[in-house]
Amino acid sequence: MRETNWTRRIAKDGVLLALLCVIGMFSIPLADNVKVSLQLYAVLVLCFLVDGFLDALLITGCYLLMGLFLPIYAGFGAGITPTFGYVIGFVLASPVLYFLNRLPIHKIPRLILASLAGTLIIYVSGTIFMMLYLNWDLPKTLLVSIVPYLPFDAVKIALAILTYLAMPSFIVAEPVRKKDNSDP
């Protein structure tokens, strides 16, 4: 029985990594140097679905390492670019997303809190890396790397939460808690 659980977990992690790789490649160019991808959406969903925080770290870490050599980043990019800090942010945010989604509070506020905290970590990591990589000041970096994406990221957060809520129970790794009838 125990081997079946490990097999299921490894298979689930492999599917989530493949999903991140495929979804992460595609982006929609909106303006000069502004392209919107679904990487944030994929990272949020996978961190909500994994069976453990190490799984989240493993998946996002593999994505980071694979993207150094394979064109799996947004816009079929690879390697270290000015936006590489956001991919680092995926790895840094994954355990936070996992643990905040296990808080003993109602499901929707828990998902919103986890999503906002994870997105903030990704923004901070990406902004710091871009500032250092391009030798820009903070206001210019924020104007280029955060401001144009805020409405799109709000939609991605909402879609990730709705996706998670729509998942069948055999896929969702719900937090184990004492029965308190506080979670809908």
Q: Report pLDDT digits (tens) over 109-160.
A: 999 999 999 999 999 999 999 999 999 999 999 999 999 999 999 999 999 9
Position 174 scores a pLDDT of 55
Determine the pLDDT at residue 171: 75
Contact assessment for residue 52 and residue 98, using Cβ atoms and an 8 Å cutoff: yes
Rounded-to-integer distance, Cα 170 and Cα 160, Å? 18
CATH number at 2-166: 1.10.1760.20
Note the pTM of the prediction, 2 decimals. 0.88
Instruction: Tell me the C-alpha distance between 136 and 106, whole Å.
Output: 41
> Is 90 within 8 Å of 39 (Cβ atoms)?
yes
User: Comparing C-alpha atoms, which of 17, 34, 31, 28 is closest to residue 70?
Assistant: 17
**Which of the residues in the chain have pLDDT under 50?**
1, 176-178, 183-184
Give me the pLDDT at residue 1, please: 45
Domain boundaries, the chain: 2-166
Which positions ≥6 away from 161 have C-beta within 8 Å?
44, 108, 111, 112, 115
The confidence score (pLDDT) of residue 172 equals 74
